[in-house]
Amino acid sequence: MAAIPRDGRVFVAGHAGLVGSAVVERLQEDGFGTILTATRSELDLRDQAAVNRWFAAERPEYVFLVAGTVGGIMANSTRPAEFLYDNMLIHGTVVEASKQVDVRKLLYLGSSCIYPRHAQQPITEDQLLTGPLEPTNEAYALAKITGIKLCEAYRAQYGCNFISAMPTNLYGPGDNFDPVGGHLVPMLMRRFHEAKEAGEPKVEVWGTGSPRRELLHVSDLADACLFLMDHYEGPGFVNVGTGEDIAIRDLAEMLRDIVHPGAELVFDTTKPDGMPRKVLDVSKLHDIGWRHRTGLQEGLLETYRWFVEQDPASVRGLSISAP
């Protein structure tokens, strides 16, 4: 299979987000000449007519569909309508417009929360739709499942070369550091940082600390996305992760030691634990020839260095507290 041409017209849908910005950076590193992007005000990805017009004018040949309304466990469980509506529409419009202009290849990004709450760990791809979902992220998971099925249906019915990847929990520079709606790593990193600045010795961690999560650095995910575009064409989707997980308590201690050594962790068990464990079986991805590179300790350190170097006004989720 030929790698996608570096002089092709590539659209990164969702370029301003954590994943999209890492994908754009990875494509630039690899010498792609035409990387198309559209801001939210230029193009509402939930509007099929607008998306069709944009595709007809810009004529992308390759699409990274990494756009979506995303968030951590609290955002997911308190805003189910937005998570379901936005995400169903976004993948619907982009997939349909891609078919209309004969996009040569599209990569759709799902999420590891598509799998049943009690899936066997590590989670193999074939466990999709084998049991009830985790309630705290059911709306998002349902939208992502229909996205995968949509790509498979367009492949089966229209012969479109659309593939899907299922990333595990992500972190890295450019994350959303919102104090309520963010994911585990940026929220904890921010809380440890603010406690250190305030001279506060106790730091709150949500839940019991016993759930386990797998964490992948976003630059590794971006690399895997390009790798799959270049080297994978099968009908089934592919898990993307490290295959290694860590208890929330151990992760919190790791972050504490990086950001605010000596601080005491206080577990707030009124907050949800969510999935008891989420770690992907990445054998399929390893067999195709890709492995992650960034170790967790190294990736967290690098993300923290990035965080402290930013102007608060330019960090997503921090603008509200910016001077």
Chain residues binding ligand GDP by CB under 6 A are 72-73, 113, 137, 169, 183-184, 187-188, 205-207, 211, 213, 248, 271-275
Residue 54 has a CB neighbour count (10 Å cut-off) of 23
Residue 176 CA from chain centroid, whole number: 11
Kindly tell me which of 115 and 206 has the beta carbon lying closer to ligand GDP.
Answer: 206
Kindly tell me which of 139 and 229 has the beta carbon lying closer to ligand GDP.
Answer: 139
CB of 75 to ligand GDP, least distance (A): 8
CB of 32 to ligand GDP, least distance (A): 30
Residue nearest ligand GDP, CB atom distance: 207
Q: Is 140 a catalytic residue?
A: yes
User: Do the bridges between strand 246-247 and strand 169-171 make them parallel or antiparallel, or are there none, so unpaired?
Assistant: unpaired
CB of 308 to ligand GDP, least distance (A): 18
**Residue 318 corresponds to which tokens in the numbers above?**
């921090």
Please tell me the distance from the alpha carbon of residue 153 to that of residue 36, in angstroms, as a whole number: 26
Please tell me the distance from the alpha carbon of residue 34 to that of residue 24, in angstroms, as a whole number: 11
User: Do the bridges between strand 105-109 and strand 62-65 make them parallel or antiparallel, or are there none, so unpaired?
Assistant: parallel
Quick check: 174 and 239 in contact, CB under 8 A? no
Please tell me the distance from the alpha carbon of residue 13 to that of residue 69, in angstroms, as a whole number: 12
Please tell me the distance from the alpha carbon of residue 63 to that of residue 92, in angstroms, as a whole number: 14
Please tell me which residue in 140, 154, 171, 304 is annotated as part of the active site. 140
Kindly tell me which of 38 and 74 has the beta carbon lying closer to ligand GDP.
Answer: 74
Kindly tell me which of 51 and 187 has the beta carbon lying closer to ligand GDP.
Answer: 187
CB of 195 to ligand GDP, least distance (A): 12
CB of 90 to ligand GDP, least distance (A): 19
Query: CB pairs under 8 A, 24+ apart, for 49-53?
Result: 51/93, 51/94, 51/96, 51/97, 52/93, 52/96, 52/97, 52/100
Quick check: 267 and 248 in contact, CB under 8 A? no
Kindly tell me which of 24 and 187 has the beta carbon lying closer to ligand GDP.
Answer: 187
HEC string for 138-156: HHHHHHHHHHHHHHHHHHH
CB of 88 to ligand GDP, least distance (A): 18
Kindly tell me which of 150 and 205 has the beta carbon lying closer to ligand GDP.
Answer: 205
| Active site positions, annotated | 140
